[in-house]
Chain A
């Protein structure tokens, strides 16, 4: 009897959960999405920024020396991407312990990329990241086109890919 009640309770919870989920699914139309905070506390949602051209995501942290080297080395190239209407997102993997260093580093280095905070690493993991630096290229629909492990080794390849995606993206 107790066993039956136990399974019955879980069955009810399961059906309830599934019903709630299926209601949500009926309404879905959006592609894969995530929301992160930026340095001034406001939120950036991927789905709200799709359809405006390709997106370059650079995962980094203030304690990661190769990440900082990469950002410094490719600063002017990343800025030229932004001028072409390519969104450059620098997603910091600093957690609550070291997050206070992000803003001083970005401001002191003169970067004007959109900086987002991913303190739990969930967005990094969702794109197959294990370690940083890690770079992901998304098309204008948010689909992953390529991922680069470690520091970007062939910046020309990346530029070519972004140019191709830019040509393919719907013009506004």
Chain B
């Protein structure tokens, strides 16, 4: 597609319509993110136990993002310089990249907004369409195309057409996507919407996804939901799938009750649909490293119930339970999760409190347990985590953190414990530091990546808070890093990491 030609012509007409005389309207915003790793990492293709299974790691990435606003027109783009490590290249298949990998031109003239170039988008709860980018996990479903949004009074309408970009090592392949979404908001708290998404037959099978959604508010109770159908064309036949999501919140005094239900059975799910998790994705740090729950929208049914609120002015408390599994065979009526091992059940219960004292000391505690059966593990986990911060010096703060995770491997009949302690200091101005130590008594993990992970991290802000430097030195555990249900296994790392974030 010869899009540069389109941009050139648009630019030419823009310059010749006399609008360039409004130079006083020109605004530039931008950001730069630089990351450098130097050290060693575990090589999954290298034989031997830790530390002989390691190889050198050299990684460099710089993302420069610029947005030039000129009246109601915005021109934006990102220049990427990416040099992955040898392991990333060999194991994941990612490759060097240099160039302008994102660019767009957008015009806002009420009630219209038109964008040509790269864009992300979410229709309602994301059951039919949800596009996003997360470079940490090598995921990018953003489209390169045209998007038109219209919002006038109670009516909003979005139409888009574009194509995802297939990048080496990324989990999204090339696909043409066409989408329409409309919604009517007759009054605040009430909404009816509908979507239609067509996936072209490029790297994924051709499919259509119509969806309906709604929102209603009755006093302290709010209910919203979405239902999407999926019809995938696989040549001789058409496969029918569906996805349903329902959310309810109810307020009573200083408390809120949240109840969510999901029933996802796409029968041909693609990365362009990212429905709500209906569970927690980010919890205490130790949980992130030990086979975190991975969401599986192709076949997932479940619910979550959470009660949160403020029993006292300085105390915030949460009690949470979620349960999900694959669909059970021969189940009748409304789909519901099971606790049967063959359905790969997952459940989690935790309770957390945050208390702030008048002296500005702060305590956050969490205790919980979970169980998950999968094809390659069946873990039951118990954990406790606490973070305490107290004023120190004129405006500074001392921080202490501790976590303990006990993992019961029910298939191997083994129990092991992971621990984490951290101490930090923040001067309340430009500087923050943290010393961290993680340890485990898991023999299998010791052979793979060691049993001790000490590290130090220093963060320094400068330029009136516009720039931040983070320097990390030490050892870091490997494991799954998840975002929106997509996960990538990160290799254990030892060495030096430099990160510079800047606003321009």
Contact = CB atoms under 8 A, between A and B. Distances in A.
B71 A28 contact: yes
A126 to B, nearest CB: 5
A137 B78 CA distance: 23
A85 interface: no
Nearest to A144: B29
A81 interface: no
Contacts of A15: 9
A28 B126 contact: no
B188 interface: yes
Contacts of B277: 97-98
A38 to B, nearest CB: 9
Given A99-B125, A147-B503, A153-B430, 6 more contacts: A63-B282, A96-B124, A107-B251, A120-B132, A149-B467, A153-B461
Given A104-B258, A149-B468, A10 B5 contact: yes
B191 interface: yes
B107 A149 contact: no
A172 interface: no
A149 B501 contact: yes
B110 A30 contact: yes
Contacts of B8: 14
Contacts of B468: 149-150
B189 A144 contact: no
B167 interface: no
Interface in B1-49: 1-2, 5-6, 8-10, 12-14, 17, 19, 25, 27, 29-31, 33
Contacts of B120: 120-122
A95 B31 contact: no
Contacts, number: 233
Contacts of A42: 185, 188-189
B205 to A, nearest CB: 23
B17 A22 contact: yes
A29 B258 CA distance: 43
Nearest to A134: B503
Nearest to A156: B395
Given A10-B5, A97-B276, A21 B13 contact: yes
Interface stretch (B303-311, B440-448, B449-457): B303-311
A47 B255 CA distance: 35
A128 B484 contact: no
19 contacts: A11-B5, A15-B9, A17-B6, A30-B110, A32-B71, A32-B72, A33-B110, A72-B316, A72-B356, A96-B130, A100-B247, A101-B306, A107-B249, A108-B254, A119-B126, A120-B121, A125-B65, A147-B466, A150-B468
A157 interface: yes
Contact of A21 (B107, B217, B256): B107
Contact of A98 (B254, B276, B501): B276
Contacts of B254: 108, 110
Contacts of A20: 114
Interface string A131-165: 10000000000011011111011100100000000
B465 A14 contact: no
Contact of B260 (A26, A72, A100, A110): A100
A125 B27 CA distance: 14
Given A95-B122, A97-B281, A104-B249, A24 B308 contact: no
B74 A126 contact: yes
Nearest to A39: B222
Contacts of B126: 95-97, 119
Contact of A35 (B151, B247, B467, B484): B151
A96 B125 contact: yes
Contacts of B232: none
A110 B255 CA distance: 10
B308 A104 contact: yes
